[in-house]
Structure 1
Amino acid sequence: MNYPKYDFISSTENMTFEFISSGNNGNIEKTIRYQCINEEIKIYNLTFGDNKGMNKETGELNIDDITVSNNGDLEKILATIASSVNIFSETYPDRLIFFKGSTPARTRLYRRAICKEFNYISKTFAIFGAVNIDGKIINVPFNTTDDFYGFYIKAKCNEEN
């Protein structure tokens, strides 16, 4: 996958990546963040969206994952997210990454992007679909035809972990 991507600034722990989307609607600050959602089995949620600054009450970074920017740079943004996944996985190869869209349409968009680059991605990562069964999210083999609740990916060198 050799698409143009944005330059970004990453936190020293490679848990947060910030960049500027430049396009039809101007410059928009974007953030990719990895947050632990299950410490026992090392699952990290990938969150992506517009950077809305720090929440003064919590001290946490506000990421708006609902807004549709329509900045005309979707492939460049997806390539930037993929680059952050590579860096995160190199830094933390034992961690499983979970992601889903903020809407079913965005989750389908992510599935299409995975399908488009599946041969390339699957050389480096094990890819699973996430399904919601009675409120429990489990991973199942990824395929190109099913709709999924979300996705799990993990560096292949550590599949057995």
Structure 2
Amino acid sequence: MKSTHYPTFPLGADDFIRYRHFIHIAHACKFFSEGKNGRFEMRVLISRHKHSEELDSYNLAFGVWDEECQDLDDMIEIKNGDSDVILATVGTQALKFLQENPNAGLYAQGSTTSRTRLYQREISKVIDYLPPDLKILGAIEGGEPDVIEFCKGTNFSGFLLTKK
């Protein structure tokens, strides 16, 4: 199964001026969502806090770029009819980052519970087609253990992607 995704364009730390003082930007790019409600600049940001002791732990963020605020808006719903293409584009960037940084752990969580569930459903759809050396763990709030291997039908509060 091959997902359609948008072409991406690399970005640097200068494209995230308000972030660069407190996070290390490891990977960033932009792409454009195009659909029934127009064209929106989207950005993907893989980063870690500059003072983090866990040097191989990264956060995956994405959202609509707010030019006026110079910030990612991960709460807006553009309802452009292309969420599957957006998520495939973000997923492609995550896989690329892990390929280039095989010791990294990449954490992702939706900005809302419903978005986290959406990401979970999309992962469930493509999990059988992902590279065999990719490991996806699911975080369970208050669970024992608190992180388990991803499995369909379990509600997770976030996801950790690593290479096996």
Residue 94 of structure 2 corresponds to residue 80 of structure 1:
no
- Using structure 1 for the length normalisation, give the TM-score: 0.83
4+ residue segments displaced more than 3 Å:
11-14
Work out which of the residue numbers 134, 143, 159 in structure 1 matches 2:151: 143
Unaligned runs of 5+ in 2: 13-24
Task: Say which SS state the counterpart of residue 15 (structure 1) adopts.
Answer: strand
**Count, aligned residues:** 149
Whole-Å Cα distance in 2 between the matches of residues 148 and 124 of structure 1? Answer: 21
What CA RMSD, in Å, does the superposition of the two structures yield over aligned residues? Answer: 2.2
Match of 2:62 in 1: 48
- TM-superposed CA distance for 1:43, in Å, is 1.2
Q: Residue 19 of structure 1: CA displacement?
A: 0.6
* Aligned partner letter, 1:32: V
Query: So what's the TM-score if we normalise by structure 2?
Result: 0.82
CA distance in 2, matches of 1:131, 1:54: 36
Deviation at 1:139, TM superposition (A): 2.0
**Aligned runs of 1:1-150 on 2, under 5 Å?**
1-11=1-11, 15-37=27-49, 38-40=52-54, 42-53=56-67, 61-121=70-130, 123-133=132-142, 138-150=146-158
Alpha-carbon contact 1:21-1:73 (below 8 Å) kept: yes
Q: Which residue identity lines up with residue 26 of structure 1 in the other structure?
A: G
1:2 corresponds to which letter in structure 2? K
